[in-house]
């Protein structure tokens, strides 16, 4: 089933000329699913429990609508209070039109677990179940602005296993290559290199 799934989405990726972008970055796609499909536990179990990197893709070239979720709360990072949501002007400023790659992330030990926490955060947002206690217990705040782009359930999550490599080094390398292609700009939801 996973092989058919990957073949289907790789065709979609080719249809959107994203393959060239992945080739330029050196990102070899080992698997992919739509976000909506990964909200199903059976599909989520198909994500390997190995170190790796992943990317979130939006296969729509139109300028997106952004969502300002009804949570004005903050979270604490290294003693500093930071906003949970980005404001509209920040989102618009960070948007890059000519790429489908919204975010590049890494899983030091387990892609399945890391993507699970990322998707759980989205589920809590969309179901309006994000409470102050959830905010402070969220273990995946990186890339959260992805969930402020309307239509996130249709985004693709692709991954690449990184045996014998340090995922953070691979992630950094991918982001640097992305920056070289896009005028020194990081992917939309990456706030650091």
In a domain, 193, yes or no: no
Within-domain flag for 50: yes
- pTM, two decimals, is 0.83
150 to 127, 162, 180: CA distances (angstroms):
14, 31, 27
192 domain residue, yes or no: no
Full domain range(s) for residue 148 = 2-181
The closest alpha carbon to 57, from 2, 107, 12, belongs to: 12
Q: What is the pLDDT of residue 134?
A: 45
Residue 21: per-residue pLDDT: 77
The number of beta carbons lying within 10 Å of the beta carbon of residue 29 is 19
Identify whether 188 is part of a domain.
Answer: no
Is residue 10 situated within a structural domain? yes
Tokens of 6: 């990957």
Structural domain contains residue 190:
no
Whether 138 is covered by a domain: the verdict is yes
Distance CA 27, CA 29 (A): 6
**What is the phi/psi pair of residue 88, to 5°?**
-60, -45
191 in a domain, yes or no? no
The count of structural domains within the chain is 1
> What parts of the chain have a pLDDT lower than 50?
1-2, 16-17, 128-137, 139
């Amino acid at each position: 089933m996973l092989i058919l799934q990957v073949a289907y989405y790789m065709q979609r990726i080719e249809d959107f000329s994203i393959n060239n972008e992945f080739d330029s970055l050196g990102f070899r796609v080992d698997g992919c699913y739509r976000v909506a499909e990964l909200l199903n536990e059976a599909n989520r179990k198909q994500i390997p429990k190995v170190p790796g990197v992943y990317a979130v893709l939006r296969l729509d070239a139109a300028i997106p609508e952004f969502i300002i979720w009804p949570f004005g709360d903050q979270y604490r990072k290294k003693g500093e209070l930071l906003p949970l949501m980005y404001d509209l002007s920040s989102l618009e400023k960070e948007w890059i039109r000519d790429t489908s790659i919204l975010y590049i992330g890494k899983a030091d030990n387990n892609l399945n677990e890391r993507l699970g926490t990322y998707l759980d955060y989205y589920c809590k947002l969309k179901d309006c179940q994000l409470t102050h206690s959830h905010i402070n217990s969220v273990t995946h705040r990186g890339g959260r602005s992805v969930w402020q782009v309307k239509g996130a359930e249709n985004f693709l999550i692709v991954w690449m296993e990184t045996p014998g490599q340090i995922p953070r080094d691979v992630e950094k390398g991918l982001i640097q290559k992305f920056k070289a292609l896009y005028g020194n700009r990081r992917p939309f939801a990456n706030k650091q290199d």
